[in-house]
A and B are shown apart, each in its own frame.
Chain A
Amino acid sequence: MKPDTAQFRENAAAAIADPRLQSALAKLPGGLVAQRRAAVTALPEFEALRDEARAIRDATLANLATHLEAFEAKATAMGSHVHWATDADEARQTISNICNTANARLVIKGKSMVTEEIGLNAYLQNSGIEVVESDLGEYIIQKRGEAPSHIIAPAIHLTEADVEADFRSYHTHLDRDRELGTPERLVAEARAVLREKFLNADVGITGANFLISETGSSIIVTNEGNGDLTQILPRIHIVVATIDKVVPTLDEAMTLLRVLARSATGQDMTAYTTLATGPRRADDLDGPTKCHIVLIDNGRTEMLASDMREALRCIRCGACMNHCPVYNAIGGHAYGWVYPGPIGAVLTPALLGITETRHLPNASTFCGACESVCPVKIPLVSLMRTWRERAHNQGPRTRGARILAKLWSAAATRPALYHLLARFAVAIAGALGRAKGRFRRLPIARGWLKHRDLPAPQGRTFQQLWKEAERGVPR
């Protein structure tokens, strides 16, 4: 998708003014957030598991090349074809070539954020291949021509009523007067429509939650079973994953799974946890005849070597966005690219550059709620601050901002001057604000005053009053 990150402010304002979106977002605190809290409370060792998960990710990233080569060797031995792609373009071409070689007309997909990142659907569709998303949320937004607004709940910005209206307009071959007013009926209808696509698809494309070096397997976790059908029914299975997804052993992957589902949806385990290891063997009853694994770098090696390495620990649970006050206020689309929320505010500048994305790490209160729930303890606030430093070093956006910042910093580092200026400023502002105790309008602080009053200062600085008190002057 085309990034729209520079328009963040405008997008956010529109999102806040959209009552339909707001009613969808209002379900987050009682939904995913409450579910996570319940799951974590029920597992006393959860904190210890977070440390373990973090250590696993750090150790793997420290020797990523070794683990990737081990994965490639094992996956190849198990009959998979492993492909390497340095960037989005190479990844798209690789996948497209596999589809074309197989004369594929219909591709069915499991949920995958990296295919959003590389813009795979549009690319395949432009070459005449029909692409159908099989995850319910992805299916809904694909029909709408939208991007996911959340990494695990892509249609979280929609309400049931929206989906019902959409299904009525898409599925015109069905009875117009059918009952569709419950989530169960919506699921049943999508399932019936998708079943036919599963059976006719030539290629199934899935992402991977993890790639296991010791077995050459990919793991996906789903709650709908669509991922299983996607990788079992079509004759060709393509796994698309970035290189940071590798985990050395199944044991380690199990630890990560224990924190993943709890952090994401509050489940102990997702309904389906599926390992895929190569194509169908002679005595298998089902499975693809060919299995391809496309390993994509697309900026990860660069991140690995930079001070953004810790962001590569991410296991894509979405807890950071669920708990983020900014995400809760504006939803995922306002962030303008594939990855929203705090992890997006760190990842997106790394993948697209800070110039066009500088709003993302700046638009945070630094409340730290994201860090406090991250299952692999990514220091999201520190990483966002590092991006702010990069943006700052490129120069402030406006001349006014630059001059103000310089003046403030010149004064703050000269205490005597600072206290003198402070006395004058506070005396004037205090006199002007005395009657009401607050300001409703001022020539400065327009953003603040747009929505709230600015309390007026009491009129004298503490330093001034303290000095007077020391000399015996009563307050």
Chain B
Amino acid sequence: MPAPHAGLFVTCLVDLMRPSIGFAAARLIEAAGCMVVVPDRQTCCGQPAYNSGDRATAKALALQTIRAFADCEYVVAPSGSCAAMLKVHYPRLVSGEPDLEAEARAFAAKVHELCTFLADIRPIADVPGRYDGRVTYHDACSGLRELSIKSAPRRLLAKVPGLKLAEMPEPEACCGFGGLFAEKYADISNAIVTRKTDNAATAEASLVLAGDLGCLMNMAGKLTRTGRPLACRHIAEVLAGELTDPPIGHSAVSAP
């Protein structure tokens, strides 16, 4: 039986900021027995527009994305927030237009967040990565509350040789990113991320992991600004053993 085609929805943040996460995700999807394809008609899932009230742009991006992945059996995204946009919100964006709605629903059915995909949809027995140390895991909001991603990342981390997961207090509390919120309401966002990073630090881990790069950039930016010896990586990097690149917000020279 030929390997099913899994389209990687890279997410705009991973595409622009941290392609190493995309390669880690691709490696994991291959480990799950799929053939990875990366349609180049994809850009952004549309959340910045959708959550700013620009429904027209969000809808245009929804249709663009849906069609870019027409030939894929699965669509996998290394982000709970983007996956929820594709899976939960695309059908809502076209509701009232029966043909488009059917198309969006069929698309939504094949969309999966990366950890869910690897844990439940195409379960992998082993992961390529290994990590000797303590990590803590942040449950990013959209994935947690819109897609019920809670145990999948933990089940996958349990497969990583050498890795010890130490939970932080309030792992489900928002990190304060919220997309443009962090820029528009900077002071409030700062109060929230301060609490988050304080909590993360009590886990006495060397890494904070999460499934969403937006949250990770927010936490990493706060951690480096406050000089804490705690680094951030996407969970895919650890699962895939893609640890050559320095952690988020660090350089090869200044990496901890």
B16–A425 CB distance below 8 A? yes
Q: Does A419 contact B (CB under 8 A)?
A: yes
Q: Does A2 contact B (CB under 8 A)?
A: no
Contact for A371 among B52, B145, B181, B191, CB less than 8 A: B145
B188–A462 CB distance below 8 A? no
Q: Does A258 contact B (CB under 8 A)?
A: no
Complex: A462 Cα to B39 Cα, angstroms = 12
Q: Does A70 contact B (CB under 8 A)?
A: no
Complex: A426 Cα to B16 Cα, angstroms = 6
Q: Does A385 contact B (CB under 8 A)?
A: yes
Return A104 CB to nearest CB of chain B, in Å: 44
B53–A389 CB distance below 8 A? yes
Interface of chain B residues 172 through 199 with chain A (CB within 8 A) = 172-174, 176-179, 181-193, 195
Complex: A457 Cα to B20 Cα, angstroms = 11
Q: Mark A320-332, 1 if CB is under 8 A from B, else 0.
A: 0000011011100
Q: Does A272 contact B (CB under 8 A)?
A: no
Interface of chain A residues 421 through 475 with chain B (CB within 8 A) = 422, 425-426, 433-438, 440, 445-448, 450-458, 460-463, 465-467, 475
A412–B178 CB distance below 8 A? no
B16–A437 CB distance below 8 A? no
Q: Mark B13-28, 1 if CB is under 8 A from A, else 0.
A: 0111111101100100
A437–B246 CB distance below 8 A? yes
Q: Does B250 contact A (CB under 8 A)?
A: yes
A367–B38 CB distance below 8 A? no
User: Taking chain B's interface residues, is the majority helix, strand, or loop, or is none over half, making it mixed?
Assistant: helix
B15–A367 CB distance below 8 A? no
B249–A438 CB distance below 8 A? yes
Tell me the number of A-to-B contacts counted with CB atoms below 8 Å. 215
Contacts of B218 in A (CB 8 A): 452
Contacts of B246 in A (CB 8 A): 437
B188–A438 CB distance below 8 A? no
Return B8 CB to nearest CB of chain A, in Å: 8
B221–A448 CB distance below 8 A? yes
The closest CB in chain A to the CB of B50 belongs to A385
Contacts of B14 in A (CB 8 A): 462
Q: Does A9 contact B (CB under 8 A)?
A: yes
Contacts of B183 in A (CB 8 A): 445, 447-448
A330–B188 CB distance below 8 A? yes
Q: With A367-B178, A385-B51, A405-B54 given, is the CB distance from A453 to B249 under 8 Å?
A: yes
Return B41 CB to nearest CB of chain A, in Å: 5
Complex: A387 Cα to B51 Cα, angstroms = 10
Contacts of B49 in A (CB 8 A): 405, 409, 412
Contacts of B245 in A (CB 8 A): 458
Stretch from A53-61, A215-223, A303-311, A390-398 that touches the partner = A390-398
B19–A454 CB distance below 8 A? no
Interface size on A, residues (CB 8 A): 69
Return A138 CB to nearest CB of chain B, in Å: 27
Complex: A415 Cα to B142 Cα, angstroms = 26
Contact for B187 among A16, A368, A388, A467, CB less than 8 A: A16
Contacts of A440 in B (CB 8 A): 225
The closest CB in chain A to the CB of B185 belongs to A363
B217–A454 CB distance below 8 A? yes
B145–A436 CB distance below 8 A? no
Task: Supply 18 A–B pairs (Cβ within 8 Å), ascending by A.
Answer: A16-B188, A364-B181, A366-B141, A366-B178, A368-B145, A389-B55, A390-B53, A405-B52, A412-B57, A425-B16, A435-B251, A437-B246, A446-B186, A448-B186, A452-B190, A453-B220, A455-B217, A467-B40
Q: Which residues of B contact A (CB under 8 A)?
A: 10, 12, 14-20, 22-23, 26, 38, 40-44, 46, 48-55, 57, 60-61, 64, 68, 141-142, 145-146, 170, 172-174, 176-179, 181-193, 195, 217-218, 220-222, 224-225, 245-246, 248-255
**Interface contacts beyond A436-B254, A447-B183: sample of 14 additional A-B pairs, CB < 8 Å, sorted by A:** A16-B187, A326-B192, A363-B188, A368-B146, A385-B50, A392-B55, A412-B57, A413-B60, A426-B16, A437-B252, A438-B220, A453-B224, A455-B221, A458-B20
